[in-house]
Structure 1
Amino acid sequence: MLKLQIKNETSRLRAVILGVAESNGPIPSVDEAYDPKSVEHILAGTYPTEAAMILEMEALAAVFKKYDVQVFRPTIIKDYNQIFARDIAFVIDDLLIKANILPDRERELEAIAPILSQIDPSKIIQLPDECHIEGGDVMPWNDYVFVGTYSGDDYSNYITARTNMDAVIALQELFPDKTVKSFELRKSNTEAKDNALHLDCCFQPIGKGKAILHRNGFLIEKEYQWLLDFFGQENVFEISKEEMYQMNSNIFSISEDVIISEKNFTRLNTWLREQGFTVEEVPYAEIAKQEGLLRCSTMPLIRDL
């Protein structure tokens, strides 16, 4: 049996689900896209090829192998996008919470059933239907759970609004000993540079008490300020609108001092090394065209305490 254990984003990783790019299906139509960045690339004729995305995911898998991390992969569904494993479920402490995701994506959960069968069924939680949530919006951080949300009356108008306040309340009930802190995110169906699809598109805590942050991803200035104060301005790497668009906050920690990052993130990677991190660079710019990067395509199952 798999004994789940996730307290935060940075403890030493032991087991992870990594999405797959094989049999990704044809380039979607604009109507089939879930986010404005994908639409941009569909219209421009620059949407990523399956071959390019397979190479990128295998480069990431090679880093996990180097660090002796157990990697699980979903069952491949023909002609179906299964890259973003983070969206479909997430682990907090020893519980795996299934995400209530866009209905079109429910088969992605079926594809990880063989992995879920290795987990004690009492440790798998299905939230009520009214709770909309995706793993990219959820960050366990020791005594806190940070959650990206959107509570506007026009929530249903945004295909980019993935986590609602019902889900935030449900998490607080599930983890009464933690502080579940929600952050209102800026949403746009049409302008990728003004859209924080998930919390990890504009914020991520990393090791050594540091964090990556983008002010404009947050709708409410004081919520952004809270994070800045929580980590301390001297510990925060502020990314620009362009860097948010390129997904600079969506890197992935193997441990407190080892981070996997995209090889083109020159400014970020230089800063990380200056702070004493080991940076494992991988090519991931093609997958980034779908408004997701390294954190989005991984679902950690076990980290050391």
Structure 2
Amino acid sequence: MPLDNARVQVDSEFATLRTVVVSRSEVRAPKDLATIGHRPPVPDSAQAEVAAIAGHDFGEAFPREQLRWEAERDNLAAVLRKHGVEVLRPRLLTDAEKAAGATTGYANFFVRDPWFTIGDNVIEGVLQFPHRRNEVLTSRELLVEHVIPSAASYVALPTPAIPDPGTGAGPGPFLEGGDILVLGKHIFVGASGMATNAAGIEWLTKYLRPQGFIVTTVPLPAHVLHLDCAFGMVREGLLISCPDRLPQGLPAPLEDWDQIHVSETEAEAMATNGLPINPTTYILDPEFDRVAAALQFRGITVELIDFTISRTFGGAFRCSTQPLNRTD
């Protein structure tokens, strides 16, 4: 590992990205989509495709689209490397892991959610959707190699309770990285009921409080999977937000920030889910040319990458990355 990238710490959503994990592209939906417990969190235009892969690996059902999907993540990795970012990749799922998900499904496609970094804490979370419960396993080797030798803490949430049949996901605790946004000692955690729950937030608050962190819950509408599907920080004082997805508005520390507003339709297509490389450079899909123009007007350099297939699954650039070193 390069010495200048050996630190494991995330100071904010827009601090200079130095080491990041970029997702793989593997998913198999459950045979019975009802076992997800919620309507699949993907755009309305993709519901038919999700139904078509129930019980099937996406790459087997749609081989051409699978190649495009892999190319999207490879292109993202290439742009990040161009900007001097060290890029790591999770391993692929093993045959045994795929076999274990024959009924529940499996996922290795959005590394933002199964674990996350807050300050110098690396935390393994717990995902609500059954087909994603083991997604952390493909990152374990990276965590052992990069986190264990570092000064960072490495912890995991308690194993969630097993629910009674027909009662949904159960009490958890559930805590997912897409719901967690970092701004120094302020940690914002989304809560829609589809991902992170109160038990997960309570655990995180208790763990972080001795370190001086302030954890703030941000309520979300029931159809919004994660907080980064409602707003995203670009740099100090600037963010992209969807007011329709923030029923109680922005958290108090962000109320006075300059906002680029997007509609519900744009947010569903992942307009808030770009990725800052540093405070002056931002990655976005060309689908959002209006947002790109607004960023450029504010002095932000925008790198455009087609992420059509990734967005079909309800995630984009932030969902497809997990920083290990984001520091100034």
TM interval, short-chain normalised: 0.7 to 0.9
Identity %: 26
Partner of 1:158: none
Letter in 2 for 1:6: V
Q: Which residue of 1 aligns with 2:157?
A: 127
SS at match of 1:131: coil
One of 67, 74, 80 as aligned partner of 1:64:
80
For the residue of structure 2 that corresponds to 1:85, the secondary structure is coil
RMSD: 2.4
How do 1:1-305 residues align onto structure 2 when only pairs under 5 Å count? 2-21=6-25, 24=26, 31=33, 35-37=40-42, 40-43=45-48, 49-77=65-93, 80-101=106-127, 102-118=129-145, 119-120=147-148, 123-128=153-158, 129=160, 130-150=172-192, 155=193, 161-176=194-209, 177-187=212-222, 195-218=223-246, 221=247, 223-226=248-251, 230-232=254-256, 235-305=258-328
**CA–CA distance in 2 between the matches of 1:251 and 1:226?**
20
TM-score scaled to structure 1, two decimals?
0.85
Q: Distance in 2 between matches of 1:134 and 1:51?
A: 27
Cα deviation, 1:121-151, whole Å, max 9, x if unaligned, reads: 871111223320110000111120000013x
Mean CA deviation greater in 264-273 or 70-79 = 70-79
Q: Identify if the C-alpha distance between structure 1 residues 208 and 225 changes in structure 2 by more than 3 Å, giving closer, same or farther.
A: closer
Give the superposition deviation at 1:40.
4.8
Q: Distance in 1 between matches of 2:195 and 2:15?
A: 27
Match of 2:168 in 1: none
SS of the residue corresponding to residue 10 of structure 2 reads coil
CA distance in 2: counterparts of 1:125 and 1:94, whole angstroms? 11
Query: Aligned pairs, how many?
Result: 282
Runs of at least 5 residues in structure 1 that lack an aligned partner in the other structure: 156-160, 188-194
Task: Give, in whole Å, the separation in 2 of the partners of 1:126 and 1:292.
Answer: 24
Q: For structure 2, list consecutive stretches of 5 or more residues without a partner in the other structure.
A: 99-105, 161-171
Equivalent AA in structure 2 for residue 184 of structure 1: P
CA spacing shift, 1:265–1:68, aligned 2, 3 Å: same
> 2:275 & 2:27 partners in 1: Cα distance?
26
**SS at 1:163's partner residue?**
coil
Using structure 2 for the length normalisation, give the TM-score: 0.79
**Pair 137,27 (structure 1): closer, same or farther in 2 beyond 3 Å:** closer
Cα distance in 1 for partners of 2:311, 2:32 equals: 17
In structure 2, the CA distance between the partners of 1:30 and 1:284, relative to structure 1 (3 Å rule), is: farther
Contact 2:281 2:302 (8 Å CA) reproduced: yes
Cα drift, residue 231 of structure 1: 4.1
Q: Flag the 1:238–1:53 CA change in 2: closer, same or farther, 3 A.
A: same
Please tell me the residue identity of whatever aligns with 2:249.
Y
SS of residue in 2 equivalent to 1:15: strand
Query: How far 1:104 moved relative to its partner?
Result: 2.5
- The structural deviation recorded for 1:28 is 6.4
Cα pair distance change 1:211/1:111, threshold 3 Å: same
Relative distance call for 1:13 and 1:95 in structure 2 (3 A) is: same
| TM-superposition CA deviations, 1:166-187 (whole Å, max 9, x none) | 1212222222112111011111
CA deviation vs aligned residue, 1:60-110 (integer Å, no higher than 9, x gap): 011111011111111111565312000110000111110111343233211
Matched residue type, 1:75: R
* Residue 226 of structure 1, CA deviation: 4.1
